[in-house]
Structure 1
Amino acid sequence: MKRSILLLAFVVLAFVGCQRKGITPVSFTDVHVEDTFWRQRLDTLRNKTIRYAFERSDRAGYVRNFAIAAGLMEGRFQSGQPFDDADLFKVIEGAAYLLKVEPDPELEQYVDSIIDIVVAAQEPDGYLFTNRTINNPLHPWCGKERWETDWNLSHETFNAGELYEAAVAYYDATGKRKMLDAAIKNADLVCKDFNWDGIVMAPGHAVIEMALVRLYEATGDKKYLDEARFFLDCRGHREFDPTSDDLRVNGKYWQDHLPATEQREAVGHAVRALYFYSGMADIALHQGDKEYLATADSIWENIVSKKFYITGGLGARAHNEAFGENYELPNGSAYCETCASIANAMFNLRMFRLHGDSKYIDVLERSLYNTVLCGISITGDSYFYPNPLETAKNGQLRSAWFGCSCCPTNVCRIIPSVPGYVYATEGNRIYANLYMSSRSEIELGGKQVVLRQRTEYPWEGSIEFEVEQAGRGFELALRIPGWARGEAVPSDLYAYTDPSADEAKIYVNDEEISFSTEKGYALINRKWQAGDKVRLELPMRVRQVRTHSAVVGNRGLLSVERGPIVYCAEGTDNGGRVADLSLQADAKFRVVSDSLSIGGAYTLRGEGLRYAIKEDNSSVESLPAEITFIPYYARSYKGATEMKVFLPESGEDILSLLESERRTIDKVIIGNHPSEQAHNLKGEHTRCDSGMGWRDAVDGGWFSYDLKCDREAEQELVLTFHSTDDGLRTFDILINGEKIATRTLRRETFDALIDTAYPIPAHLLRGGKLTVKFDAHDGNLAGGIFGCRIRRTE
């Protein structure tokens, strides 16, 4: 039987006897990338990242878990999370994609050896979950019986789903059935146990829905498609407390608070949510279900109009890694997990298949070129897990790995599958969705079309297509991105300061043509000949972006982008600070092409103002400044530093900040190790985040700093809190052992740093030094504290 694999998102779909008519992505194996931008990343993934990921997975104990579960060695459960099985499966899936494109006997032999151990750990009835099989110790998230807490955090069906994904991919790449047979055996067990006459339970972490659809496509067995639908249909059956604001009490964390078809807003854990919504789109696609289609449409609209970051990130809150409320889009505390943007690409490719509208590819592209690429270094061996839009002076650096490795292992799948996003077909039409230099063999109506694409995208907007083999006449649908039509995103959430559009132009064999558009695509229908050329010219001017006024934290702020690339300003390029910079809406920009820059990225230079305290400390002044912007995905390559995606249009807030700075006698840079040590940091049960610049104490703990003061002048202690902190956060504030205040933090707005000044009694100033202590009440946290300074009163 011929194995035919077609890419859906980064999930390669094997259609064996159950092909569905309609829009079909062209397989990543048929799109041969030649450009420098993506070729570099694909080669790095092949030559370095995939092996590095296997090495880190082995070091973390993932492989040993399977060996112990199989009885091949003795020992306790080796790693920290019950879902670590799934992360190993994701790396295997990524390796399969690489092997499908280019044989690598050494890599294949290694993966075979891992699969042997994985399959040996499977229990006789098909159950495969190493933590329970080892049972030493059983993770606290797992119940006493199988599946008992899968609705919550055990991740048993999540692991199963990732097993199916990897198994189908590896079978397609190599023809080897060992892992696929294990996946089928496990899926049969799932179908036997989970049904309306058995266990009625929605998965705590969605993914098995998509994976079962993929297994259906690989085997043609409809029971897997029906089981995928079952897992969607049984949402909303568990009782939760709808009056609670706690996502884990009201059910929203798992998207289990309502039946699936009654949900209209993106809520809860962002990655879980987007996998779940992708599963709904799959069922709408394969079963023509109008209710699930309407639900997916409504949720997509909610995301893009109220919960989508300009960088393509999703998930406002670190707590629960969750979507926030409508228009809750903080910058500094933004979570924007790399996995969420990968899942967003999956969801939007499915939505494109349902509707054939370019707006879904616009959203996909924004996530892909910005947050997804930010999640992995150009060297392929360090990663970001969250991707905030602003960092404090301490900055952030990518990490070599994480205790929860979902993001690094997910990157192993997304990068090698990117070529599968480039084209799709429907009837007599070829959709050109993404632009990258490549040579592609596209099957259309039983005949092969060969297209070569030449471009310097994303840096230049000229894209040339050459028909090397036509085979037949066809319609070429060229995506005109929203940013080329004066539309930042397909909603009113973001808008360009100058919304005018420079028209895209199309040339066929060097002659400009007029063209009609449909759902964002320029349509060219003709009988093509070998050697025919089409050139698309997209306007790529620098754009400044304003946010909807309902996003309170972004009022008066501007971001900058060019083409699909969102830019940011870093301290390393701007005199060490970006907090003192403002950017006017009519600023002029220079585009700088520097082959020596990181990955050949284009940088921008824009007109702005820098505010500074005069040398005599008498007042604050503003001076013209040229602001350097780099691609957001390239942040932190030059070291940990301040970073902002949004800069103020006015200097009013900067003036207020610097005026406070001018009166400051001493301050601690929270989260900065040298500064905190210089101020004699002490404490118990304390923790910090250097990127956002905060510290707190948990479990009734405390922490303190020593700061200088003036023995004579009136002074105040100024503490900076974040408006989104809530929960049990009541603590005492003491100076030299004397309590001056008790503070309880409550969520006040979506995104703001709030300064509170506490007058310092004169008798505490006499020693010239103050010990400031934050002491949590029993069962509470102290903080977070984002700033701590002593300043003269006005």
Structure 2
Amino acid sequence: MKKQLLTLALLYTLPLCAQQADYPVRAVDFTAVKLTDSFWLPRIRTNHTVTIPASFARCESTGRVKNFEMAAAKQGKFCTTFPFDDTDIYKTIEGASYSMAVTPDKKMDAYVDSLIAVVAKAQEPDGYLYTARTIDPAHPHAWSGPERWVREHELSHELYNSGHMFEAASAHYLATGKRNFLDIALKNADLLVLTFGPGKLGVAPGHEIVEMGLVRLYRITGKKDYLQLARFFIDERGKRQYNQKSKNKWENGQYWQDQAPVVQQSEAVGHAVRAMYLYAGMADVAALEGDTAYLHAIDRIWDNMVTKKMYVQGGIGAIPDGERFGENYELPNATAYNETCAAIGNAYWNIRMFQLHGDGKYIDLLEKVLYNGLISGVGLDGKSFFYTNAMQIRKGVHHHSQEPARSGWFECSCCPTNMARFLPSLPGYIYAQKAGDVYVNLFISSTTNIQVEKKKVKITQSNNYPWEGDLRFNIEPATATAFTLKLRVPGWARQEAIPGGLYQFRDKDTHKVVIKVNGQPVDFQLEQGYAVIKRKWGKKDVVEMQLPMNTHEVVADNQIKEDIGKVAIQRGPLIYCAEWKDNDGRTSNLIIPGHFQPEVRKDLLNGVVVLTGEGKRINVDAQQQEVSTAAGRITLIPYYAWANRGEGEMNVWFPEKVVDVDLLAK
């Protein structure tokens, strides 16, 4: 596999054509990071050996590949459900490309090339590529509209398909050096440039991502038209006429983030995945063009999301109707939606916000999402998934948003394929640089070789995170080199449950974070969430950081009505939950203990630390109509690992005490 001296995951380091402006902080390319981690490396390997092959197989078996074959033949009938089903192939190719960049795989490489050949034949001569219309232009998909683009502002997803194709083609080119997919994407992008823009067709894309994809192509080609078109699509928002006073999400424009020009927006609204892709695209354009109006807008929206619209495990998009953000503090547990794609989009947005500002709070949020509401979306087997990530499951109560069992595929299967493309790029989130500053963002055992002020430096990170808080960093410059090491001191280690204070630790832990250099404790300055260590580094220097791994009770802001009088449990970056399997078949009847003991269970859920303690269970004798409590051992598992052992109850929030009992008639 040919390796490129380019960033593959985030494309923020060395584009083929240098830009005058860009993100102030640059990610260290994930191909320059070798994982040795016992938590993430097995997941990334499973993604390569199980998730990606299973995703390709399901694209075949469900007719997604057949749609392209019929489009090439110009005959047949679109045989899947949604016009955006094309993107499941694109996203899986993207994931395979990232994965092959680190783990060469001739069989996978050949299969991807065969799929690209199928995609190429489906492309129309002018570059248009959209099987839902091309198969039978006289009878297109019901969402597509009678002609190209006429329903793009709402349901056609023509530009959404293009955006995912651009992302995938960029990844494939940079991973393999082959142009077969890139040329398809560029032909389509050139059609968009001819079609849309000032004096041409104007539209606010109904499902954003084409903006991010166009920036990717701009970074590869240096063709300014692509960057300008990305900006054009963003600036088209707020131009359509909606009933601004309507509470109907379809009538007021909020579902599409189209209710006002983006620079006037201050609140996270509408479909959560679309919102994340829009805000990430705005961050890209803000970085490349130095646009402070965009920057101020996404700063305001980020503040609104984290302080008023986020679940304790990092989930966003509370409302099932429209997969969308609710009102401020509208965070119901029983019907929580929390789409996996929204968690992935949140990760994309937060890494960009960090690279704009260099502030550790964005990585704090990224970490909360990664270790909780993102990886909960894929089962430990690598081939079963959640579309939504529930906050509670009750015995005998089934809401349409709840999925107590995982699924191998969905009719709308955006989440499994999004997971396939996200996981291989994770090593690109660990380290970053800005001139003579080296950031360590995530605590994942790994080795990276970077250049600091044109001098080679090797950093080796070793730990047993997230289970233990003892972290070690070997700093090995080729020659003695002065630079600033910035180690993120997680918010949770500084008594901050989540940036912004929507959730807080009840206890006031007095344990301090300890940092040692070559065995000697050092005083350090804390700047934007980072311990700043400036020195001339030698070949055998060792930095150690000790994080207090206490178990915390988390309480919510009182404006979140459903969580009043309840607590959640966090240890390190992990939110914990109670699952039926460990608690006599029920979790909705638990009163948790005031103290938990961590216990290593290598035999459970691929190896976890569980929390155990003596609590109480509320028991109902239906025959005698009596309610009683009984002492019993309570066991909590990491939230990400629930629903890997069958169906049953699950709880994240627990009542502190019994204040009432609901009486239900049969």
Tell me how far apart the structure 2 counterparts of residues 243 and 595 of structure 1 sit (CA, whole Å): 55
Q: Does 2:521 correspond to 1:521?
A: no
Match for 1:515: what amino acid? F
Match of 1:776 in 2: none
Q: Does 2:627 correspond to 1:626?
A: no
Compared with structure 1, are the counterparts of its residues 406 and 618 closer, same or farther at alpha carbon in structure 2 (3 Å cutoff)? closer
Give, in angstroms, the shift of residue 67 of structure 1: 1.2
Tell me how far apart the structure 1 counterparts of residues 233 and 455 of structure 2 sit (CA, whole Å): 39
Give, in angstroms, the shift of residue 473 of structure 1: 1.9
Helix, strand or coil at the partner of 1:309: coil
Give, in angstroms, the shift of residue 439 of structure 1: 1.1
Give, in angstroms, the shift of residue 615 of structure 1: 8.9
Q: Do 2:384 and 2:408's aligned partners in 1 also have CA atoms closer than 8 Å?
A: yes
Structure 2 counterpart of 1:176, from 175, 178, 185? 178
| TM-score (structure 2 length as normaliser) | 0.96
Match of 2:164 in 1: 162
Give, in angstroms, the shift of residue 599 of structure 1: 1.7
Q: Does 2:613 correspond to 1:606?
A: yes
Tell me how far apart the structure 2 counterparts of residues 38 and 156 of structure 1 sit (CA, whole Å): 35
Once the two structures are superposed, residues 378-426 of structure 1 have per-residue CA deviations (whole angstroms, 9 ceiling, x without a partner) of 1101000000100112671110101111000000111111111100000
Structure 1 counterpart of 2:521, from 508, 512, 528? 512
Tell me how far apart the structure 2 counterparts of residues 491 and 543 of structure 1 sit (CA, whole Å): 18
Equivalences for residues 238-253 of structure 1 within 5 A: 238-253=240-255
| TM-score (structure 1 length as normaliser) | 0.81
Q: Does 2:536 correspond to 1:530?
A: no
Q: Do 1:4 and 1:16's aligned partners in 2 also have CA atoms closer than 8 Å?
A: no
Give, in angstroms, the shift of residue 453 of structure 1: 0.6
Q: Do 1:28 and 1:419's aligned partners in 2 also have CA atoms closer than 8 Å?
A: yes
Tell me how far apart the structure 1 counterparts of residues 210 and 352 of structure 2 sit (CA, whole Å): 16
Tell me how far apart the structure 1 counterparts of residues 3 and 454 of structure 2 sit (CA, whole Å): 15
Q: Do 1:464 and 1:534's aligned partners in 2 also have CA atoms closer than 8 Å?
A: yes
Match of 1:332 in 2: 334
Q: Do 1:100 and 1:174's aligned partners in 2 also have CA atoms closer than 8 Å?
A: yes
Once the two structures are superposed, residues 26-74 of structure 1 have per-residue CA deviations (whole angstroms, 9 ceiling, x without a partner) of 1111111111111110111111111111000111111111111112x85
Match for 1:288: what amino acid? G
Tell me how far apart the structure 2 counterparts of residues 4 and 317 of structure 1 sit (CA, whole Å): 43
Match of 1:45 in 2: 47
Compared with structure 1, are the counterparts of its residues 283 and 615 closer, same or farther at alpha carbon in structure 2 (3 Å cutoff)? closer
Tell me how far apart the structure 1 counterparts of residues 115 and 17 of structure 2 sit (CA, whole Å): 30
Tell me how far apart the structure 1 counterparts of residues 207 and 623 of structure 2 sit (CA, whole Å): 59
Once the two structures are superposed, residues 424-469 of structure 1 have per-residue CA deviations (whole angstroms, 9 ceiling, x without a partner) of 0000011000001111112222232111110000100111011233
Once the two structures are superposed, residues 244-280 of structure 1 have per-residue CA deviations (whole angstroms, 9 ceiling, x without a partner) of 1111111111001111111100111000011011111
Compared with structure 1, are the counterparts of its residues 338 and 616 closer, same or farther at alpha carbon in structure 2 (3 Å cutoff)? closer
Q: Do 2:8 and 2:174's aligned partners in 1 also have CA atoms closer than 8 Å?
A: no
Equivalences for residues 753-792 of structure 1 within 5 A: 789=666
Helix, strand or coil at the partner of 1:250: coil
Once the two structures are superposed, residues 586-607 of structure 1 have per-residue CA deviations (whole angstroms, 9 ceiling, x without a partner) of x111001011111211100134
Q: Do 1:7 and 1:13's aligned partners in 2 also have CA atoms closer than 8 Å?
A: no
Match of 1:651 in 2: 658
Tell me how far apart the structure 2 counterparts of residues 115 and 538 of structure 1 sit (CA, whole Å): 47
Structure 2 counterpart of 1:578, from 558, 573, 587? 587
Structure 1 counterpart of 2:439, from 413, 419, 431? 431
Match for 1:261: what amino acid? V
Structure 2 counterpart of 1:617, from 612, 621, 624? 624
Match of 2:578 in 1: 569
Structure 1 counterpart of 2:642, from 627, 635, 639? 635
Structure 2 counterpart of 1:403, from 398, 411, 429? 411
Match of 2:111 in 1: 110
Tell me how far apart the structure 2 counterparts of residues 101 and 195 of structure 1 sit (CA, whole Å): 38
Match of 1:736 in 2: none
Structure 1 counterpart of 2:205, from 200, 203, 206? 203
Decide which moves more: 445-454 or 520-529: 445-454
Match of 1:704 in 2: none
Helix, strand or coil at the partner of 1:354: helix
Q: Do 1:8 and 1:350's aligned partners in 2 also have CA atoms closer than 8 Å?
A: no
Tell me how far apart the structure 2 counterparts of residues 2 and 377 of structure 1 sit (CA, whole Å): 31
Tell me how far apart the structure 1 counterparts of residues 316 and 193 of structure 2 sit (CA, whole Å): 32
Match of 2:567 in 1: 558
* Structure 1 unpaired stretches of 5+: 662-717, 719-788, 790-794
Helix, strand or coil at the partner of 2:368: helix
Decide which moves more: 607-616 or 490-499: 607-616
Match of 1:17 in 2: 17
Equivalences for residues 688-727 of structure 1 within 5 A: 718=665
Match of 1:760 in 2: none
Q: Do 2:553 and 2:569's aligned partners in 1 also have CA atoms closer than 8 Å?
A: yes
Q: Do 2:336 and 2:391's aligned partners in 1 also have CA atoms closer than 8 Å?
A: yes
Match for 1:444: what amino acid? V
Match of 2:400 in 1: none
Equivalences for residues 424-573 of structure 1 within 5 A: 424-471=432-479, 472-573=481-582
Tell me how far apart the structure 2 counterparts of residues 121 and 444 of structure 1 sit (CA, whole Å): 46
Q: Do 2:605 and 2:641's aligned partners in 1 also have CA atoms closer than 8 Å?
A: yes
Give, in angstroms, the shift of residue 2 of structure 1: 9.2
Tell me how far apart the structure 2 counterparts of residues 197 and 325 of structure 1 sit (CA, whole Å): 37
Q: Do 2:87 and 2:164's aligned partners in 1 also have CA atoms closer than 8 Å?
A: yes
Tell me how far apart the structure 2 counterparts of residues 616 and 372 of structure 1 sit (CA, whole Å): 43
Once the two structures are superposed, residues 197-217 of structure 1 have per-residue CA deviations (whole angstroms, 9 ceiling, x without a partner) of 111110000001111111111
Match of 1:101 in 2: 102
* Structure 2 unpaired stretches of 5+: 397-402
Compared with structure 1, are the counterparts of its residues 13 and 22 closer, same or farther at alpha carbon in structure 2 (3 Å cutoff)? closer
Tell me how far apart the structure 2 counterparts of residues 595 and 541 of structure 1 sit (CA, whole Å): 20
Tell me how far apart the structure 2 counterparts of residues 287 and 336 of structure 1 sit (CA, whole Å): 32
Match for 1:343: what amino acid? G
The root-mean-square deviation of aligned C-alpha atoms, in Å, is: 1.7
Tell me how far apart the structure 1 counterparts of residues 200 and 510 of structure 2 sit (CA, whole Å): 57
Q: Do 1:270 and 1:323's aligned partners in 2 also have CA atoms closer than 8 Å?
A: yes
Give, in angstroms, the shift of residue 363 of structure 1: 0.6
Q: Does 2:219 correspond to 1:212?
A: no
Tell me how far apart the structure 2 counterparts of residues 7 and 517 of structure 1 sit (CA, whole Å): 31
Compared with structure 1, are the counterparts of its residues 53 and 541 closer, same or farther at alpha carbon in structure 2 (3 Å cutoff)? same
Greater RCO (CA < 8 Å, at least 6 residues apart): 2
Larger radius of gyration: 1
Give, in angstroms, the shift of residue 183 of structure 1: 0.8
Match for 1:104: what amino acid? D
Tell me how far apart the structure 2 counterparts of residues 176 and 648 of structure 1 sit (CA, whole Å): 57
Match of 1:388 in 2: 390
Tell me how far apart the structure 2 counterparts of residues 374 and 356 of structure 1 sit (CA, whole Å): 28
Q: Do 2:436 and 2:453's aligned partners in 1 also have CA atoms closer than 8 Å?
A: yes
Tell me how far apart the structure 1 counterparts of residues 344 and 55 of structure 2 sit (CA, whole Å): 17
Count of aligned pairs? 655
Q: Do 1:14 and 1:214's aligned partners in 2 also have CA atoms closer than 8 Å?
A: no
Q: Do 1:315 and 1:322's aligned partners in 2 also have CA atoms closer than 8 Å?
A: yes
Tell me how far apart the structure 2 counterparts of residues 358 and 529 of structure 1 sit (CA, whole Å): 26
Give, in angstroms, the shift of residue 581 of structure 1: 1.1
Compared with structure 1, are the counterparts of its residues 322 and 43 closer, same or farther at alpha carbon in structure 2 (3 Å cutoff)? same
Equivalences for residues 126-141 of structure 1 within 5 A: 126-135=127-136, 137-141=139-143
Helix, strand or coil at the partner of 2:7: strand
Give, in angstroms, the shift of residue 18 of structure 1: 2.0
Equivalences for residues 20-419 of structure 1 within 5 A: 20=22, 22-71=24-73, 74-135=75-136, 137-393=139-395, 396-419=404-427
Q: Do 1:485 and 1:502's aligned partners in 2 also have CA atoms closer than 8 Å?
A: no
